[in-house]
């Protein structure tokens, strides 16, 4: 096990972590401000990936595709907010789960209808399709580093948005008290649509960026959605800081678990079995992490007062 | 009183209708529909299990596929070993495979119950949206475990070649198999009625409405909810065992979170907290799948739209629509 | 002198820098009503919550019938004989009034984990429950769901539920709040009638009711007991007038 391999795995976990953060940030923002649990967040991720892949394929430019993906996800978000979500804010969580679960079915079939059943492929932009040498030997794909960069930019951008802008002030007010923002003279419907569209755009960003690393297919958002849930449960639902810490933790545990657990088992077991058990335990590791965190702090690491 | 009568009549109608379908199918030799009816009965049984936790206890479990799948795997793995003539386990206990139906059911109840006790013990420390997400996440954990463990073919699943042996009955006969599923379904509904009407049920329903109230009169909500959660999971686990026997196949797809959502849909479509609601919900689901699915592959799109409509505009589900408001006294 | 039923010793509760409860000590003698008065935000509800167990004090002890209950949960305390009513009614809303009380009777009998026998028609639950509803004057409304009861009736129901536990000590958080003249008169009568069976700690703003009911009064201001004594003592105290009665 070389230092370069370990370093590479650390970068991988960081890349997974920041993407989970971008996903989880939208989810937790919407929950924090509107009290809504949105299962269809993974569908918005899928919408971002599909539009990015489609437009990039038509225009030949990844960046135009990325912009299209962001716009499409934000627009889809704004539309479902106005048609469906705003009827759900005052409902209980069960209704929210079911309604947004229905949206997943609609989005999945709708996407299949529009784009066909075959996966799309999104190429990494040529300028980024190289490797950067790592200290200690070996290389690391530049594109993955760019993803990490996007994640960091998102974190900084959200921080500035929420702490420095007028919109951020309204968001913070909305988290503590719905009547209060009404009293501030803000149109609450517009604010909610805007917040939801921002969350959707973040999901679309994650989908488009990750879409270039894997195939763009129906249902691609669902495993990510569940990971994002694990992230915000660990971090404390409604807390963006919690989402950041949670995402990094989950990224580390998941990536390192997959990279190293089977080697750990190999110390005691024959290789075939070690691989099997290693893979099984690795796939469970983040859920075990979640269970441990919750047994210790039932409201996550950074509980938000409800 | 009138409302009460109406719901009782409706329930009897629902139960009889489900019984009539396979009989008619058998009479006119359309055996495919016997299997469809068995599917409805089994999925409804899973819903009856969830209804106990969700409808009466207010615990929105988004992970009941875990118990359905565990029940299925318990039955599937044991009968796989019986077919192979190998032991499931040699150490610390010797556990052989089994082709006895009762043993398989027992294994399904035991496994889903024990795992539910563990998952519930952790999850019930939390409430609200945390509980929803945690149950979902634990179910995913078991799903990935089933996929990554190579022993039972991982993602590809295990075929089962024979139905199990129930003394005095031939389960390989589809109609007999349906009757067994149907009997278990009605038994589970009867058990739910008794439990919900009992002292325990009163405490459970109070926990759903106002946990604080329950604590204040000196009943700790946690053990009440945990007990209901485990019972609920065991019923759903038994349904999983039947499902695997029906299909002759067990794979991780019966652990997927889509199935958790679907079990929830059976309960909601039929009416939350209605004893016979899950039958209506499961039947509607299967009818939609069969009828719309016959015209277009996109039937899930229509399912999504219908479900969205029910959630937004017809709370109380079909039984609520037909029988009026639930009585509480 | 008889042993007090409820003893608070040096109770402290801080939320950050705020001291919601500041070194409160208090005794509740058997067959007595001890009123706790004070301006809004004096920490009365916080104090009640610490006695009932829904809030843990930062320091100090709570003793019930001689037993230290500071570390016990809400249900455990209730089982030991501590009943309470809430400032804002907290009931099982979909149940009828009767079923709310029946559940308390069942809790009193420590018979919750019974899964088979239906509660409907169970005389061992219904009869004692009806008796409590009659005691508070709610028998005729027994079969209505809580949602159909008026505000005043819900307060009576809360009391009936608490009484069904046969508590030794009853914590009453503003039982008169929001009641009309007739209802509060009725409540005062009911509480007077209970005095011999249950010791009560009464938080109340209605000073007429307090002066009619209480044997002793403690005045809470900014989380501290600034005066404690008989009704006459408190009426006469200049400090209390300055701090609270505003005269």
Q: How many residues make up chain B in this entry? A: 329
Q: What is the token pair recorded at A143?
A: 């594109």
Q: Looking at residue B220, what DSSP letter applies?
A: -
Q: Dump the DSSP string for C69-103.
A: -TT--HHHHHHTTEEEE-SS----TTSBHHHHHHH
Residues of chain C by 3-state class (helix, strand, coil), percent to 5? 40, 25, 35
Which residues of B are less than 8 Å from C93 in CB distance? 209-210
Question: Rounded to the nearest 5 degrees, what angle is found at the Cα of C232, between the Cα atoms of C230 and C236?
Answer: 120
End-to-end Cα, chain A, rounded Å: 47
Query: Confidence band (pLDDT; 50, 70, 90) for C247?
Result: very low
pLDDT of residue B71: 97
Nearest one of A96, A94, A51, A58 to A76, comparing CA atoms? A51
pLDDT of residue A306: 47
Q: Looking at residue C59, what DSSP letter applies?
A: E
pLDDT of residue A176: 63
Residue whose entry in the numeric block shows the structure tokens 């565990």: B70
Residue that wins the pLDDT comparison between A278 and B188: B188
Chains interfacing with C (3 or more CB pairs < 8 Å): B
Measured CA to CA, the distance from residue A254 to residue C82 in angstroms comes to 49
Q: Is residue A286 part of a domain?
A: no
Which residues of C are less than 8 Å from B228 in CB distance? none
CB pair distance less than 8 Å for C117 and B198? yes
C177 and C116 share one domain:
no
Q: Please state the rounded mean pLDDT for residues C182-206.
A: 88
Question: With contact defined as beta carbons under 8 Å apart, do B148 and A283 qualify?
Answer: yes
Measured CA to CA, the distance from residue C154 to residue C93 in angstroms comes to 10
Q: Dump the DSSP string for C157-209.
A: HHHHHHHHT--SEEEEE-TTTT--HHHHHHHHHHHHHHTTT-EEEEE-S-HHH
Measured CA to CA, the distance from residue C236 to residue B107 in angstroms comes to 75
C139 and C72 share one domain:
no
Which residues of B are less than 8 Å from C79 in CB distance? 218
Which residues form the domain of A47?
Answer: 12-220
What is each CA distance from A152 to A10, A239, B165, C139, in whole angstroms?
16, 17, 60, 66
Per-residue pLDDT of chain B (329 residues; tens, 9 = 90+): 455 678 888 889 999 999 999 999 999 988 899 999 999 999 999 999 999 999 999 999 999 999 999 999 999 999 999 888 888 887 777 888 888 999 999 999 999 999 999 999 999 998 888 899 899 999 999 999 898 877 888 888 899 988 888 988 889 899 999 999 999 999 999 999 999 999 999 999 999 999 999 999 999 999 999 999 999 999 999 999 999 999 999 999 999 999 999 999 999 888 888 999 999 999 999 998 888 888 887 888 988 998 899 888 877 777 777 877 665 44
Which residues form the domain of B27?
Answer: 2-323
pLDDT of residue C40: 81
Q: Is residue C195 part of a domain?
A: no
For A182-205, write each residue's pLDDT tens digit.
666 677 888 899 999 999 999 999
Measured CA to CA, the distance from residue B134 to residue A230 in angstroms comes to 8
Number of domains present in the structure of chain A: 1
Measured CA to CA, the distance from residue B112 to residue B231 in angstroms comes to 9
Query: Confidence band (pLDDT; 50, 70, 90) for A81?
Result: very high
Query: Confidence band (pLDDT; 50, 70, 90) for A133?
Result: confident
Which residues of A are less than 8 Å from B118 in CB distance? none
Measured CA to CA, the distance from residue B117 to residue B60 in angstroms comes to 16
For C152-184, write each residue's pLDDT tens digit.
899 999 999 999 999 999 999 988 887 877 888
pLDDT of residue A266: 82
Q: Looking at residue A163, what DSSP letter applies?
A: H
C47 and C115 share one domain:
no
Q: Is residue B297 part of a domain?
A: yes
Q: How many residues make up chain C in this entry? A: 247
Residue that wins the pLDDT comparison between A297 and B107: B107
Identify the CATH number of the domain in which residue B127 sits: 1.10.3470
Q: Chain A: nearest CA to B66, how far in angstroms? A: 14
For A238-260, write each residue's pLDDT tens digit.
888 999 999 999 999 999 988 88
Q: Does the beta carbon of C218 lie under 8 angstroms from any beta carbon of chain B?
A: no
Half-sphere exposure of B110 (CA within 13 A, CB side): 8
Q: Is residue B329 part of a domain?
A: no
C126 and C232 share one domain:
no
Question: With contact defined as beta carbons under 8 Å apart, do B243 and B72 qualify?
Answer: yes
Q: Chain A: nearest CA to B236, how far in angstroms? A: 19
Q: Does the beta carbon of B118 lie under 8 angstroms from any beta carbon of chain A?
A: no
Q: Is the pTM of this model over 0.90?
A: yes
Orientation angle between helical segments A166-176 and A142-164, nearest 10 degrees: 70
Q: CB-CB: which of B213, B224, B329 is closest to C96? A: B329
pLDDT of residue A177: 66
Q: What is the token pair recorded at B39?
A: 């599917």
Q: What is the token pair recorded at B239?
A: 């349904």
Q: Is residue C189 part of a domain?
A: no
Measured CA to CA, the distance from residue A173 to residue A167 in angstroms comes to 10
Measured CA to CA, the distance from residue A156 to residue A244 in angstroms comes to 11
Element housing B318 (H / E): helix B317-323
Task: Examine the predicted complex and report whether its ipTM is higher than 0.95.
Answer: no
Measured CA to CA, the distance from residue B298 to residue B292 in angstroms comes to 8
Nearest one of A223, C244, C140, A299 to B257, comparing CA atoms? A223
Nearest one of C40, C36, C38, C42 to C18, comparing CA atoms? C42
Measured CA to CA, the distance from residue C141 to residue C146 in angstroms comes to 10
Q: Please state the rounded mean pLDDT for residues C18-24.
A: 88
Measured CA to CA, the distance from residue B147 to residue B260 in angstroms comes to 17
Q: Looking at residue B124, what DSSP letter applies?
A: T
pLDDT of residue B325: 65
Q: CB-CB: which of A280, A290, A300 is closest to B145? A: A280
Q: Dump the DSSP string for A198-240.
A: HHHHHHHHHHHHHHTTS-B-TTTHHHHHHHHHHHHHHH-TT-H
Closest chain B residue by Cα to residue C117: B198
CB pair distance less than 8 Å for B205 and C111? no
Nearest one of B59, C142, B216 to A97, comparing CA atoms? B59
Q: Is residue C190 part of a domain?
A: no
Residue spans of alpha helices (H) in B149-220: 174-197, 199-209, 211-216
Which residues of C are less than 8 Å from B227 in CB distance? 113
Residue whose entry in the numeric block shows the structure tokens 């007739």: C182
Q: Chain B: nearest CA to C91, how far in angstroms? A: 6
Q: Does the beta carbon of B209 lie under 8 angstroms from any beta carbon of chain A?
A: no
Question: With contact defined as beta carbons under 8 Å apart, do C215 and C191 qualify?
Answer: no
- Taking the mean position of all CA atoms in its chain, how far away is CA A48? 12
Number of domains present in the structure of chain C: 2
Measured CA to CA, the distance from residue C187 to residue B306 in angstroms comes to 52
C175 and C65 share one domain:
yes
Identify the CATH number of the domain in which residue C90 sits: 3.40.50.300
Element housing C8 (H / E): strand C6-15
CB pair distance less than 8 Å for A287 and B137? yes
CB pair distance less than 8 Å for C84 and B216? yes
Nearest one of A199, A252, A250, A191 to A25, comparing CA atoms? A199
Q: Is residue B328 part of a domain?
A: no
Q: Is residue B26 part of a domain?
A: yes
Q: Please state the rounded mean pLDDT for residues A162-186.
A: 73
Number of domains present in the structure of chain B: 1
**Pairing state of beta strands C216-221 and A139-141?**
unpaired
Element housing A29 (H / E): helix A3-34
Q: What is the dihedral of CA B283, B287, B289, B294, to 10 degrees?
A: 160
Q: Please state the rounded mean pLDDT for residues A111-130.
A: 88
Question: Rounded to the nearest 5 degrees, what angle is found at the Cα of B293, between the Cα atoms of B291 and B295?
Answer: 80
Measured CA to CA, the distance from residue B285 to residue B272 in angstroms comes to 16
Q: Is residue A198 part of a domain?
A: yes
- If 0-12 CB within 10 Å is exposed, 13-18 middle and 19+ buried, where does residue B93 land? exposed
Measured CA to CA, the distance from residue C190 to residue C171 in angstroms comes to 15
C71 and C179 share one domain:
yes
CB pair distance less than 8 Å for B125 and A295? yes
- If 0-12 CB within 10 Å is exposed, 13-18 middle and 19+ buried, where does residue B67 land? buried
Measured CA to CA, the distance from residue B304 to residue C213 in angstroms comes to 62
pLDDT of residue B154: 82
What is each CA distance from A89 to A36, A99, C98, in whole angstroms?
6, 12, 34
Closest chain C residue by Cα to residue B190: C116
Nearest one of A73, A96, A93, A92 to A84, comparing CA atoms? A96
Measured CA to CA, the distance from residue B257 to residue B250 in angstroms comes to 16
Question: With contact defined as beta carbons under 8 Å apart, do B145 and B107 qualify?
Answer: no
Which residues of A are less than 8 Å from B126 in CB distance? 294, 298-299
List the 145-174 stretch of B: residues with Cβ below 8 A of A: 145, 147-151
Measured CA to CA, the distance from residue B129 to residue B141 in angstroms comes to 18
Closest chain B residue by Cα to residue A227: B137
Q: Is residue C191 part of a domain?
A: no
Measured CA to CA, the distance from residue B73 to residue B104 in angstroms comes to 10
Using a threshold of 3 CB pairs under 8 A, tell whether chains A and B touch.
yes
Which residues form the domain of C148?
Answer: 82-166
Element housing C220 (H / E): strand C216-221
Nearest one of A194, A181, A204 to A85, comparing CA atoms? A194
Question: With contact defined as beta carbons under 8 Å apart, do A111 and A46 qualify?
Answer: yes
Measured CA to CA, the distance from residue A10 to residue A145 in angstroms comes to 12
Q: Is residue A58 part of a domain?
A: yes
Which residues of B are less than 8 Å from C86 in CB distance? 216
What is each CA distance from C246 to A169, C36, C210, C240, in whole angstroms?
40, 17, 17, 8
Q: Please state the rounded mean pLDDT for residues C25-52.
A: 90
């Amino acid at each position: 096990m070389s230092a370069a391999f370990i370093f590479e795995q650390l970068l991988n976990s960081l890349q997974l972590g920041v993407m989970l953060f971008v996903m989880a940030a939208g989810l937790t923002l919407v929950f924090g401000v509107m009290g809504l649990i949105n299962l269809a967040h993974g569908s918005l991720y899928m919408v971002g990936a599909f539009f990015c892949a489609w437009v990039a394929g038509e225009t030949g430019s990844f960046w135009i595709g990325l912009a299209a993906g962001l716009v499409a996800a934000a627009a889809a978000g704004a539309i479902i907010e106005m048609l469906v979500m705003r009827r759900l804010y005052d409902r209980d969580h069960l209704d929210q789960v079911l309604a947004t679960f229905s949206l997943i079915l609609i989005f999945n079939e709708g996407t299949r209808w529009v784009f066909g059943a075959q996966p799309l492929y999104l190429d990494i932009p040529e300028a980024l399709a190289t490797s950067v040498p790592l200290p200690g030997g070996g290389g690391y794909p530049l594109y993955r580093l760019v993803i990490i960069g996007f994640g960091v930019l998102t974190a900084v951008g959200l921080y500035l948005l929420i702490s420095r802008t007028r919109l951020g002030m309204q968001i913070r007010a909305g988290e503590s008290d719905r009547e209060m923002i009404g009293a501030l003279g803000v149109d609450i419907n517009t604010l909610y649509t805007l917040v939801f569209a921002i969350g959707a755009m973040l999901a679309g960003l994650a989908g488009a960026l990750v879409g270039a690393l894997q195939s763009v297919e129906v249902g691609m958002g669902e495993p990510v959605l569940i990971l994002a849930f694990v992230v915000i449960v660990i971090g404390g639902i409604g807390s963006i800081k919690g989402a950041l810490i949670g995402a990094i933790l989950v990224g580390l545990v998941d990536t390192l678990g997959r990279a190293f657990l089977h080697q750990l088992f190999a110390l005691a077991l024959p290789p075939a079995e070690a691989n099997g058990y290693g893979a099984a335990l690795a796939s469970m590791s983040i859920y075990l992490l979640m269970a441990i965190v919750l047994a210790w702090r039932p409201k996550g690491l950074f509980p938000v007062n409800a | 009183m009138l409302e009460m009568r109406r719901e009782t009549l409706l329930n009897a109608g629902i139960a009889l209708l489900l019984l009539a379908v396979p009989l008619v199918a058998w009479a006119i030799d359309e055996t495919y529909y016997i299997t469809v009816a068995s599917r409805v009965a089994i999925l409804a049984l899973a819903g009856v299990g969830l209804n106990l936790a969700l409808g009466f206890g207010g615990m929105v479990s988004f992970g009941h596929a875990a118990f359905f799948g565990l029940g299925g795997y318990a039955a599937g793995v044991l009968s796989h070993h019986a077919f192979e003539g190998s032991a499931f386990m040699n150490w610390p206990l010797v556990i052989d495979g089994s082709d006895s139906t009762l043993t398989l059911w027992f294994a399904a109840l035991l496994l889903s119950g024990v795992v539910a006790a563990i998952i519930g013990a952790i999850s019930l420390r939390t409430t609200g949206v945390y509980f929803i997400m945690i149950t979902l996440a634990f179910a995913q954990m078991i799903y990935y475990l089933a996929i990554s463990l190579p022993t039972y073919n991982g993602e590809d699943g295990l075929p089962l070649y024979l139905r199990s042996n129930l003394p005095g009955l031939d389960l390989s006969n589809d109609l007999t198999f349906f009757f067994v599923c149907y009997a278990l379904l009605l038994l589970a509904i009867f058990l739910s009625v008794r439990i919900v009407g009992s002292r325990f049920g009163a405490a459970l329903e109070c926990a759903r409405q106002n946990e604080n109230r329950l604590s204040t009169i000196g009943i700790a909500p946690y053990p009440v909810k945990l007990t209901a959660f485990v019972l609920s999971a065991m019923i759903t686990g038994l349904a999983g065992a039947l499902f695997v026997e029906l299909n002759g196949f067990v794979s991780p797809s019966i652990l997927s979170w889509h199935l958790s959502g679907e079990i929830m849909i059976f309960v909601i479509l039929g009416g939350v907290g209605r004893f016979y609601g899950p039958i209506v919900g499961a039947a509607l689901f299967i009818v939609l799948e069969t009828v719309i699915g016959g015209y277009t592959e996109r039937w899930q799109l229509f399912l999504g739209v219908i479900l969205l409509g029910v959630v937004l505009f017809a709370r109380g589900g079909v039984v609520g629509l037909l029988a009026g408001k639930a009585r509480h006294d | 002198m008889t042993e007090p039923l409820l003893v608070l010793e040096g109770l402290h509760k801080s939320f950050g820098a705020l001291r919601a409860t500041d070194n409160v000590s208090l005794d509740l003698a058997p067959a007595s009503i001890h009123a706790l008065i004070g301006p809004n935000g004096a920490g009365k509800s916080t104090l009640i919550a610490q006695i009932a167990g829904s809030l843990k004090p930062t320091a100090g002890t709570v003793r019930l019938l001689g037993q230290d209950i500071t570390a016990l949960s809400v249900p455990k305390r209730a089982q030991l004989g501590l009943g309470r009513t809430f400032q804002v009614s907290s009931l099982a809303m979909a149940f009828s009034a009767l079923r709310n009380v029946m559940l308390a009777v069942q809790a009193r009998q420590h018979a919750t984990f019974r899964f088979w026998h239906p509660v409907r028609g169970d005389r061992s639950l219904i009869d004692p429950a009806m008796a409590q509803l009659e005691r508070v004057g709610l028998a005729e409304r027994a079969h209505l769901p809580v949602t159909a009861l008026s505000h005043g009736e819900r307060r009576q129901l809360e009391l009936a539920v608490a009484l069904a536990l046969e508590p030794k000590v009853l914590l009453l958080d503003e039982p008169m709040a929001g009641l009309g003249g007739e209802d509060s008169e009725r409540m005062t009568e009911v509480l007077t009638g209970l005095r011999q069976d249950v010791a009560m700690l009464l938080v109340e703003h209605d000073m007429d009711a307090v002066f009619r009911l209480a044997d002793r009064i403690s005045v809470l201001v900014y989380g501290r007991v600034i005066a404690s004594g008989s009704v006459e003592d408190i009426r006469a105290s200049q400090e209390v007038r300055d701090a609270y009665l505003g005269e």
